[in-house]
Structure 1
């Protein structure tokens, strides 16, 4: 039997061109509290926490270089789900499991003292970037390192449940996400992927083209996709 990844689904990330516009939806309207931010010089990020403790990362290009990967992504796809991040205790061992299961690993970076990462090809996962990472700092330690006190979600904030994806071959999707450690059930013709110790899950519906469709949230009505703001929100 193929070994499965032991990981926690930590957060989902959305590419946006501008903080102010995006935060009107995710903070002002849906109540996310900013828990941390960063700027690599290539991309800048802000992580928001919602009522059930789940996190959404807003990913913005930090340079005007047209070759910037976030800028290229926005030009091709718009403001949609960019990636999901799994956190693991040992990155090397985790990537060995993924490779043994037949998936390629690219852009591995272990140069940092508190963050190591590798990525899976979207073409093999179903149109979604998957980041596998080891972190040597807790969320609280990250926030302290930038002098920021994490903001709690606003009163009445929504709960972020996770992304909905589309895939033309659910059995292929089942094999991939099982390798990624998911416990999978079938619900209304779709696959629901869950992980221990994570409030985020992934729902995969049959259809084409493969890729992210929406974010599911509880405590809000459904909202349309708005370019510059993010993907559609399916309310529950």
Structure 2
């Protein structure tokens, strides 16, 4: 069972998720954790960093049906950040908190113990989907996952109806050119006060006094960080790398940028919702 509030991952939508996963592996030294194939989508989840530092990125793309929501998303927007995902100890209780705070969701599934979930739709505030989930079969400890390629998929979280959890495993054979540590995800918000209610009061983030991004507020979970800044349009366009020997890396519409190159991030631009 999920025992704490966690920032689970940022998910980036790509037409070819395997190619995205190989780029994460080669350019950032990402360690793949688990994946799955469904009619609507396929995905692979990876950790970028060390046992003590870093965070998770997901690459998501079209599934086997050829007409699922990821096909529609990519046809409308192209490759870009698709959703932020959070894990909570009690999804039913969080659902009540969301309702009391005036948040609405478009889909929920609380009947599958391995992966209960609901989705806040893209809005003018955040500009992308927000997934909130809970599971009775959480991932094994990170130290264990980073120490071996072996995965016991039968006791790991996955979506209802997911199959082929190992579809991505040849990513292991991609040569690693560089290793990086994932830093904060930079979330542009048109209403930071509203974002604060969601991230801090409902999703359990700690508010950190200092943020590496000027003009932003930093939210921290044991599994990752989000820096929130006010912007004309919501969305995620940048993720910081706290350790990297390479120039910026672009995965779809998301730039992974060194913290020592913050001056090049610039002002937030347009971001379709």
The normalised TM-score by structure 1 is 0.82
Q: Would the aligned equivalents of 2:124 and 2:234 in 1 still touch at CA under 8 Å?
A: no
Pick aligned residue for 2:179 from 154, 157, 161:
157
Tell me, what secondary structure is at the counterpart of 2:9?
strand
Tell me, yes or no, if structure 1 residue 169 matches structure 2 residue 205.
Answer: no
Q: Distance in 2 between matches of 1:183 and 1:166?
A: 18
Partner of residue 238, structure 2: 214
Higher mean C-alpha deviation, range 123-132 or range 9-18: 123-132
Residues 169 and 113 from structure 1, CA distance in 2 versus in 1: closer, same or farther, beyond 3 angstroms?
Answer: closer
Higher mean C-alpha deviation, range 175-184 or range 109-118: 175-184
* Superposed CA offset, 1:154-189 (max 9, x none): 696211123212123333333333333233346421
Partner of residue 223, structure 1: 248
Q: Would the aligned equivalents of 2:27 and 2:178 in 1 still touch at CA under 8 Å?
A: no
Question: What are the residue-to-residue correspondences of 1:98-113 with 2, within 5 Å?
Answer: 98-113=98-113
* Superposed CA offset, 1:122-167 (max 9, x none): 2165112111111121324993126869x7xx69621112321212
Q: CA RMSD in A?
A: 2.9
Gaps of 5+ in 2: 142-149, 155-164, 260-273
Higher mean C-alpha deviation, range 114-123 or range 180-189: 180-189
Partner of residue 56, structure 1: 57
Partner of residue 220, structure 2: 194
Q: Distance in 1 between matches of 2:151 and 2:239?
A: 25
Tell me, yes or no, if structure 1 residue 65 matches structure 2 residue 89.
Answer: no
Q: How many residues align?
A: 225
Higher mean C-alpha deviation, range 213-222 or range 36-45: 213-222
Tell me, yes or no, if structure 1 residue 203 matches structure 2 residue 227.
Answer: yes
Tell me, what secondary structure is at the counterpart of 2:127?
coil
Tell me, yes or no, if structure 1 residue 46 matches structure 2 residue 35.
Answer: no
Q: Would the aligned equivalents of 1:35 and 1:47 in 2 still touch at CA under 8 Å?
A: yes
Q: Would the aligned equivalents of 1:36 and 1:139 in 2 still touch at CA under 8 Å?
A: no
Residues 125 and 108 from structure 1, CA distance in 2 versus in 1: closer, same or farther, beyond 3 angstroms?
Answer: farther
* Superposed CA offset, 1:99-137 (max 9, x none): 111111331112324111111132165112111111121
Residues 190 and 69 from structure 1, CA distance in 2 versus in 1: closer, same or farther, beyond 3 angstroms?
Answer: same
Q: Would the aligned equivalents of 1:43 and 1:60 in 2 still touch at CA under 8 Å?
A: yes
Q: CA deviation at 1:88?
A: 1.5
* Superposed CA offset, 1:48-91 (max 9, x none): 1122352211111113534x211222222222221121111211
Tell me, what secondary structure is at the counterpart of 1:175?
helix
Partner of residue 114, structure 1: 114
Residues 213 and 10 from structure 1, CA distance in 2 versus in 1: closer, same or farther, beyond 3 angstroms?
Answer: same
Q: Distance in 1 between matches of 2:186 and 2:256?
A: 10
Partner of residue 257, structure 2: 234
